[in-house]
Amino acid sequence: MNKDLLEQIVKHIFANLLVIPSSYVNKDISKSLMTKEYLLNDHLSFDCNDEDKNIVKQNNIWGCQISTDNNEFKILLGDCTIDKYVPEYCLLVQLKDSPAYGVYITYIGSDFKEDFVTEPLIACTLNSTDWLECNTYLQATFLAGMEQIKELGLSWNKCSDYKSQLDMMKSFIKYHASYYAES
């Protein structure tokens, strides 16, 4: 597996959604997924240690969807940040009745200077609970699909009826944590 390529693909996906800074995305015609318009009522909860106190951190989730004919394409973005200086995000992408893809980024950088990604991951699931890391071919295919969605210019709506995607996102976050704990 080419880790450098994986890092670039993950960065590109999150930059296209205007989640992380980008020098090549036109902000005048593109819209960030992280707007009030797509902010959902649910939150991701993380147990944290803050100055020797255990706290539960509640982070935002955003979601959008496109519905055409009988197809529905949903994207959920979860803020997984625990350390305010090191943003972490999880993306769950699913076309109705298709496998879901999870993408995770830990982004370190500012103003396009020496930015880098740690612990990147793209994985997919067929059954909503068991995840499998994508090989380079599947990563590239997923990137191509995300590029097509961007180029279509369809109007996005706030996500509705997303419980199953939220459950998959939580499952993917656990998979990411265990994946990097093992390696």
Helices (H), the chain: 3-16, 136-152, 163-182
- Domain of 131 in residue numbering reads as 3-182
d(CA 32, CA 49): 31
Q: Residues near 168 by Cβ (< 8 Å), separated by ≥ 6?
A: 92, 94, 100, 102, 125, 128, 129
Q: What percent of the chain has pLDDT over 70?
A: 87
Number of domain units in the chain: 1
Terminal CA-CA length for the chain: 14
Q: Place 53 in a pLDDT band, splitting at 50, 70 and 90.
A: confident
- For 80-106, write each residue's pLDDT tens digit: 998 888 899 999 999 988 999 999 999
Q: Place 154 in a pLDDT band, splitting at 50, 70 and 90.
A: low
